[in-house]
């Protein structure tokens, strides 16, 4: 009889200990992912394609705001090298986290609102639609996977926010 009264308490305690461990893991992983985001902003603002691409997986996929699709780290690096030398040269990126969700302990979904400013007046592709302040707004979804060397971006999907679409504050 005593075993039946103790068993539920042991189960509850076990679940609490497991959830505390998961919360601690998610907190540590959340800090690591937020550091990647901060590193992305800093690298973009320096026009540093290798640094911006540092956390991109060797086999990752990338869809840019023009709808062009690329596969692999080298393609991601090369594409950012091109844009940092052309219409995104000297621009400033600011990302704001909309959500960071761990779908598993080794997979996270990171969605950000991006604001890019500082465009030159000439040479912008027609597909870039800037707001009245000359800023580009996008929604970026990055899927990250925890690997032996840390978190890596395995999918990067960027969509521009069209004029007239409200941007959450």
Where residue 57 sits, what CATH number does that domain have? 3.10.450.50
Residue 52, number of CB atoms within 10 A of its CB: 24
Q: Give me the percent of the chain exceeding a pLDDT of 90.
A: 68
Q: Is residue 165 part of a domain?
A: no
Cα–Cα distance list, 129 to 7, 45, 65, 101, 134 (Å): 62, 20, 11, 29, 9
Domain contains 168: no
Domain count, the chain: 1
Residue 106: which domain range? 2-160
Residue from 126, 70, 122 nearest 80 by CA:
70
- pTM for the full model? 0.83
Q: Mean of the per-residue pLDDT values for the chain?
A: 87
77-125 pLDDT per residue, tens: 999 999 999 999 999 999 999 999 999 999 999 999 999 999 987 877 8
């Amino acid at each position: 009889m005593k075993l039946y009264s103790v068993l539920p308490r042991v189960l509850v305690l076990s679940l609490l200990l497991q959830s505390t461990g998961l919360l601690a893991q998610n907190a540590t992983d959340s800090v690591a992912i937020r550091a990647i985001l901060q590193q992305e902003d800093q690298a973009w603002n320096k026009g540093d394609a290798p640094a911006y691409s540092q956390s991109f997986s060797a086999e990752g996929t990338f869809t840019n705001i023009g709808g062009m699709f690329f596969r692999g780290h080298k393609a991601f690096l090369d594409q950012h090298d091109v844009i940092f030398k052309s219409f995104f040269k000297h621009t400033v990126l600011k990302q704001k986290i909309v959500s960071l969700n761990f779908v598993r302990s080794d997979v996270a979904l990171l969605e950000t609102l991006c604001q890019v400013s500082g465009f030159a007046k000439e040479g912008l592709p027609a597909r870039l639609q800037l707001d009245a302040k000359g800023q580009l707004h996008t929604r970026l979804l990055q899927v990250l996977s925890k690997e032996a060397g840390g978190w890596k971006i395995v999918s990067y999907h960027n969509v521009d926010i069209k004029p007239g679409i409200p941007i959450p504050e």
